[in-house]
Structure 1
């Protein structure tokens, strides 16, 4: 079967970008995107577009990253079809007004009919990365459509075949005025950033993310930043080493390790290192019986620049390569590689690999491992922990990360319906599942005061009356059950409850319960000042 034809990469004209943005804003001002049926039609069209353009998308992913059809379907095309179905199934519930009741609204304000209305933010800009050029560009679009926004998409120029197929697909199937695709590199991105957006969603490097955030701040534009980080994997003496090695090998070979959640380094107790390395080698042999380069399943590095970046890390390391190490620049191939290091200042520890290479750093204890991880990157996008339940919970408690997976590699980010996002230096905001809808939605609090209620609310009108205010406070304010030192003070209700619940029987029990009631009555009189 012949490969589908993909048009050559074309850059969007700079002078066309202001009109593209203006058109999308104009469509939003017509209010038609607020109609749930319109949103559902666009989501259905996107679903069938993904289905019909599947051959072109698979061919583009193969051309840009040499992704196998299996991986391309699993993590990109089928993933997005599931996203569309999930949003369609739950959109009515997500978009429905939420009535606010106790404990959110005090009882004396319940007549005001407080509710949360879900409003679309407006026109949004979505900037995608190269590693998952289809999924990470269109998954936010599913949320934007569901929320009722219009959108302009900017695919990565590093995956030009995918960029052109996506442009063709979106313009062919969706509302062409509400949704558009701009192709290009830095000049086109700068032109897009010169426009006013209601939100910007960016996935990519921290360096570019900081530029996006600074530019957005000039116009008070909210941003979602899905960045990366030097992600740690912890392995303790209670771990199953063979299982940990197999699962971490999976995490570093999917998409040739070009995954923002994959581990940058492994922190492992020193005595376990030799056995862990042997387990890694066995996992390698199981996955690549004829070698990784001959495998039809392993993707390639996106381009020569990133190949050279990874090669430089391996060339400059002071550590020892204990698995892999082979490279072929013409093929953009780097073998899955593990490097044993002994310094946190080694390039394999200080730089984010974003490829099929990682370091192994021996430690003497979990205390040392946590100290190293917090020193290398205090807020990574993800962490992985292989150990006992107690050890894993301690790691979660003492290490901050965008997400975490226990006893596996980044499964917290491998399911399309659960929230995903970074924290601190690894990103701001979250999406996927309901979080995708929330990401592009303004949650507007609405109160509705009935005309007959004015007498009940008269205390607010001038001239003010302090007596009426004090009376109102007595009726509605709760008294603190704690003293000035923050200590909880047990009140009358506690002692009465204790008396009624005492288990002593007979005369002794009766006398004890009576004594507690008398004490409670005394405490009540003391507090009342009688």
Structure 2
């Protein structure tokens, strides 16, 4: 590709005009066309394919990621997401019929129309600079929105190549990139958007939510979480060790859904630690420093924060612990802690720290998990089905992977998002389309139905009340004790149930039942 200029912040003075371009473009109604959306998605696909070598190199420069890891978790993911969205766009955008409607209401053709929200702002993150920036953008394009993307300044090489791809392949009036840090982001937040999508930490998420509230702007927040892994006494220690270690080696643990700490039943702790050591030797036979697939901490500030957490723990380092400030190297480090109040549990590490807290039983593990962080982004229980079902039923989380580490987050068509203070809203696959879409309820009332609608006009009389009840009342399929009763009869007569079956089908069933009864009586 051509030589690109260095990372340069966008002029703050230009940001209001950039915002206006997006708003004006949306109100031109151009982006509502399905053909237009498909064209933009396909152009983005080929723009990314053309710059694949540059994007892989950018993530290597920014995060030390290997080309394999970048393609697996970022570029390949995004390319497949574009194809998925392009193939399914017409189906996602199609009107939906309302469910459970009465015969009278069906004449008004009640339906859900999928409307784009408008001009949206997407604020990306540095740990997966391609996936976490372009993933939401794909959803915005598919929904028919215009968008401004603000990539993370902490992954500047990926940011400038994404800007090159977008500016050279997409409609420049509809899709633009703003580069910069806090001042530029602040200027963007001073504009009125139709939705703001932010991926990052909870502290900034609060700032964005507060600013958005001033103009009643909806937000989608994809935040982090002190995610627990719980290993019961009946879990398979080898599988748990390998799968959880993989999660901390991926992107040097800079993954919002990787486990922040591991609660291990004391009965299985010695074997789990042995298997963890074996797995570490297998995955990194030359050590972390000699492993080309092991990256670096993104910034010196993040490295200092991690080093401070490690220095402040009262736990015992069992494996690893080596750090090199000059190269931002941080070795995978296993620490056995003795209390839930240890700094390694209280704060999100977002790095290769692996604190382990022994517990007496599953009940203690659940209590600690709910105490440390009641609404984490991810939860990872290991054990029997009975044990993991119990953990799931007595905890909350944005998502969960049973007997694995964040596998649920690796499925690109499965909705991804947090709950409580780990985020709000979800995206990926169809959820990305839904994230930037307003489900608009629409009815069309024909003129000929006026005689039926006279019940809504005053004066209100007993006769109108009787007619109203006949038209609108559903019959219960339960008695005063809450027991189901008469379900088939009411369904056949069309006086209750879901209302999904046609009147003809119900009468056909009624006739069939009557025939059986007559035949029985004659026998």
TM-score (norm 1): 0.90
Offset of 1:59 from its aligned partner?
Answer: 1.2
| Matched residue, 2:39 | 41
| Structure 2: distance between partners of 1:296 and 1:157 | 25
Residue of structure 2 aligned with 1:314, choices 310, 313, 325: 310
Residue of structure 2 aligned with 1:213, choices 209, 215, 219: 209
Offset of 1:328 from its aligned partner?
Answer: 1.1
Offset of 1:6 from its aligned partner?
Answer: 4.5
Alignment partner of 1:277 is 2:273: yes
Report if aligned partners of 1:227, 1:260 keep a CA contact under 8 Å in 2.
yes
| Structure 2: distance between partners of 1:355 and 1:304 | 13
Runs of at least 5 residues in structure 2 that lack an aligned partner in the other structure: 491-523
Runs of at least 5 residues in structure 1 that lack an aligned partner in the other structure: 497-530
Alignment partner of 1:21 is 2:19: yes
| Structure 2: distance between partners of 1:237 and 1:127 | 42
Give the SS at the match of 1:456: helix
| Structure 1: distance between partners of 2:267 and 2:324 | 34
| Matched residue, 1:7 | 5
Alignment partner of 1:488 is 2:488: no
Report if aligned partners of 1:4, 1:59 keep a CA contact under 8 Å in 2.
no
Q: Structure 1's 368 and 4: CA in aligned 2 closer, same or farther, altered over 3 A?
A: farther
Which structure: larger Rg?
Answer: 1
Residue of structure 1 aligned with 2:451, choices 441, 452, 455: 455
Within 5 Å, which residues of 2 pair with 1:370-381? 370-381=366-377
Offset of 1:479 from its aligned partner?
Answer: 4.3
| Structure 2: distance between partners of 1:481 and 1:88 | 44
| Matched residue, 1:177 | 173
| Matched residue, 2:92 | 94
| Matched residue, 2:70 | 72
| Structure 2: distance between partners of 1:169 and 1:226 | 24
Alignment partner of 1:225 is 2:225: no
| Matched residue, 1:501 | none
The list of structure 1 runs, each at least 4 consecutive aligned residues, that deviate by more than 3 angstroms after superposition, is 3-6, 479-484, 489-496
Give the SS at the match of 1:478: coil
| Structure 1: distance between partners of 2:437 and 2:34 | 14
| Structure 2: distance between partners of 1:222 and 1:420 | 18
Report if aligned partners of 2:261, 2:357 keep a CA contact under 8 Å in 1.
yes
| Matched residue, 1:398 | 394
Offset of 1:483 from its aligned partner?
Answer: 6.6
Report if aligned partners of 1:277, 1:323 keep a CA contact under 8 Å in 2.
no
Give the SS at the match of 1:195: coil
Q: Deviations for 1:36-92, whole angstroms, at most 9, x for unmatched residues? A: 100000000000011001111111101110100000111111110001000001001
Give the SS at the match of 1:158: coil
Report if aligned partners of 1:6, 1:60 keep a CA contact under 8 Å in 2.
no
Offset of 1:471 from its aligned partner?
Answer: 3.4
| Structure 2: distance between partners of 1:310 and 1:136 | 22
| Matched residue, 2:81 | 83
Within 5 Å, which residues of 2 pair with 1:326-475? 326-475=322-471
Give the SS at the match of 1:12: coil
Offset of 1:472 from its aligned partner?
Answer: 2.5
| Structure 1: distance between partners of 2:46 and 2:261 | 41
Residue of structure 2 aligned with 1:304, choices 285, 300, 304: 300
Offset of 1:107 from its aligned partner?
Answer: 2.2
Report if aligned partners of 2:477, 2:487 keep a CA contact under 8 Å in 1.
no
Q: Structure 1's 260 and 493: CA in aligned 2 closer, same or farther, altered over 3 A?
A: closer
Q: In angstroms, what is the RMSD of aligned CA positions?
A: 1.6
| Matched residue, 2:519 | none
Which stretch shifts more, 171-180 or 92-101?
92-101
| Matched residue, 2:128 | 132
Report if aligned partners of 2:478, 2:485 keep a CA contact under 8 Å in 1.
no
Offset of 1:466 from its aligned partner?
Answer: 2.8
Offset of 1:470 from its aligned partner?
Answer: 2.6
Give the SS at the match of 1:263: coil
Alignment partner of 1:289 is 2:277: no
TM-score (norm 2): 0.91
Q: Structure 1's 493 and 66: CA in aligned 2 closer, same or farther, altered over 3 A?
A: closer
Alignment partner of 1:239 is 2:227: no
Q: Structure 1's 410 and 493: CA in aligned 2 closer, same or farther, altered over 3 A?
A: closer
| Matched residue, 1:509 | none
